[in-house]
Amino acid sequence: MVKASRVMNVPAQALFDMLIESVIYDIKQSTGKTVRPANFKKGTNYRKRIKTNAKGQKGVSVKVTVTELESPRIYEAKFEGGNDSYTVIRYEIEQLSEEGDEDGDYIRVTYTEDYNDVSKMAKPVRGFQKLIAKNNFKRTLKGMEESVKENMKLKEERAAEKENAKNGDSSSDGE
């Protein structure tokens, strides 16, 4: 099992929404089907081709199933290949501060990836992959935090622009 954790200063719901939007985008890219966030739930599944699997095979088709979904706390999915091999990924979000706290919305995000690979070569390969993967996951979590902050900033700017346009239209009569 690979596990990485990061404390972030973003609202739990904003991070969870971004994560789900990313999965919905992956479904669209993999299947051509559009899934509305309201229809995304535990049990949702689709097939996708992954670039390279743990055995180095390219273009392998896997079945992805959402196995747990609890907004804004938990997202878990199972990636099933052939030969009873599978990988389970899980994002768990823990609220560390009160939402709206003046010091910020602090959360801890824990990402885990667990493997069940029946091949004989899996154990030695997995040990090496775990070392590399843990650092990659830490970078990914940092990137997610930066993306959420950027998205929040853009939403605030758009809201301010709308407000300014609304106020500008009503105050232009007197000028």
Q: What is the DSSP string of 30-83?
A: HHS----GGG--TT-EEEEEEEE-TTS-EEEEEEEEEEEEETTTEEEEEEE-ST
In a domain, 126, yes or no: yes
| 155 assigned to some structural domain | yes
Higher pLDDT, 159 or 24: 24
- Full 3-state SS string of 76-87: EEEEECCCCCEE
In terms of residue numbers, what domain contains 66?
A: 2-169
Q: What is the pLDDT of residues 35-77, one digit of tens each?
A: 999 999 999 999 998 876 555 556 678 999 999 999 999 999 9
Total number of domains constituting the chain: 1
Q: What angle do CA 144, 150, 154 make, to 5 degrees?
A: 145
Specify if 96 maps to a domain: yes
With a cut of 50, say whether residue 171 has pLDDT above it. Answer: no
Mean pLDDT of the chain: 83
pLDDT above 50 (res 174): no
Q: How far apart are CA 75 and CA 48, in angstroms?
A: 18
| Tokens read off for 57 | 């095979």
129, 34 contact by CB (below 8 A): no
CATH of the domain at 126: 3.30.530.20
The reply to whether 43 falls in a domain is yes
Tell me whether residue 175 is in a domain. Answer: no
Report if residue 174 sits inside a domain: no
Q: Does residue 114 sit within a domain?
A: yes
- Which stretch, 8-22, 92-106, 128-142, 153-167, has highest mean pLDDT? 8-22
Q: Hey, what are 50's tokens? A: 């992954």
Identify the three-state secondary structure at position 7. strand
Q: What is the pLDDT of residues 109-146, one digit of tens each?
A: 999 998 886 555 555 555 555 555 666 777 888 888 88
